[in-house]
Amino acid sequence: METIEDNLEYIDIHIHSTYSDGTYTPLEILKLAEKQNLTVISITDHNNVDAFEEIKNIPYNGIVLRGCEITTTYNGEIIEILAYKVNENFRERLAEIRLSQRDAKQRQYKVSCITIDTLAEKGVKFRNNYGDEFYKNPKQFYDTKKESSMDGILREIKRYEENAKFFGGLENMLKINTNEFVRNMIYNPKSIFYIDQTKLYPSLEKVLEIIHECDGLAFLAHLYVYSETIAQNLDNIVKNYKLDGLECYYTLFTKEQTEYLTNYCKKKKLYMCGGSDFHGKKKKNFNLGTGKGNLRISKEIIEQWL
């Protein structure tokens, strides 16, 4: 993992711990962030702020922002909102719209089985009784500690050359990763593989309402990670929803994408944020503070709202 060695002030405010789908504990993240000399960090676990209970009394040589990444939907497609600076009431308010851990696990398996059935109906080839076997014992198809259920499903799809036609060819099918498969096919309403999950998540309006009622700021996360439809509708999202800003710096963004978003925020008078989306060992090259090695986010971009 690359280390930040100069004396400038850098930040990383998009980080995941073991309280969601990361592999580092909050304390391990603090220690690594101090080693990286990060001035401002935020642990933004999915749909919870539990990490902050663990580290609230642990000193850090910098600023630790209270944060969270919340799953919601826009026009039928799943997107995420980064919340920062939310107060103590946020945990309780979040519980109102968040499924329990048990229900969330059941939802994951239910969605996985619905996905398998839907794709099979579309003509995707699976081994005999794959859906039934997956439902009975999903652990035989993916590592539940290191992977998502979609990793197992995509791996099964790639076993059969017949499925290449759905991806525009064998080469495309073999090189597509799980994130691309989920974002561009499962979550994308324009795809034949689309699975409608809008009823499983809180509305965008409700998410923004809760963030603001808890004195927080709301940022649209990683715009270019979603299908191209979301980027095409950015003006509509900004116009019709009470966003405070956009995540302009991100591990997978190109220089041109970052420049566009920073200029867009200046033009629309929106705040900016950015981060590596660090998940520890779960996401290769999403290194804390440095992303793929060239991610350097200056503290200057958040000083307007910090």
pTM: 0.85
Tens-place pLDDT, residues 227-272: 899 999 999 999 999 999 999 999 999 999 999 999 999 999 999 9
Name the pLDDT band for 3 (thresholds 50, 70, 90). Answer: low
Cα–Cα distance measured from residue 193 to residue 187, given in angstroms and rounded to the nearest whole number: 8
Name the pLDDT band for 104 (thresholds 50, 70, 90). Answer: low
16, 303 contact by CB (below 8 A):
no
Provide the pairing of β-strand 245-250 with 271-275: parallel
- Domains of the chain with bracketed CATH: 10-98+202-302 (3.20.20.140), 101-198 (no CATH)
Task: Give me the DSSP letters along 17-53.
Answer: -TTTT-SS-HHHHHHHHHHTTEEEEEE--BT--THHH
Q: Which helix (H) or strand (E) holds 54?
A: helix 51-55
Cα–Cα distance measured from residue 107 to residue 63, given in angstroms and rounded to the nearest whole number: 35
Tens-place pLDDT, residues 6-54: 668 999 999 999 999 899 999 999 999 999 999 999 999 999 999 999 9
Say yes or no to pLDDT of 288 above 60. yes
- The CA-atom distances, in angstroms, between 198 and each of 16, 68, 74, 121, 155 are 24, 20, 9, 21, 25
Tokens at residue 294, please? 């060239």
Mean pLDDT for all residues in the chain: 91
Tokens at residue 216, please? 């927080």
Q: Which of 138, 141, 200, 148 is nearest to 177 (CA)?
A: 148
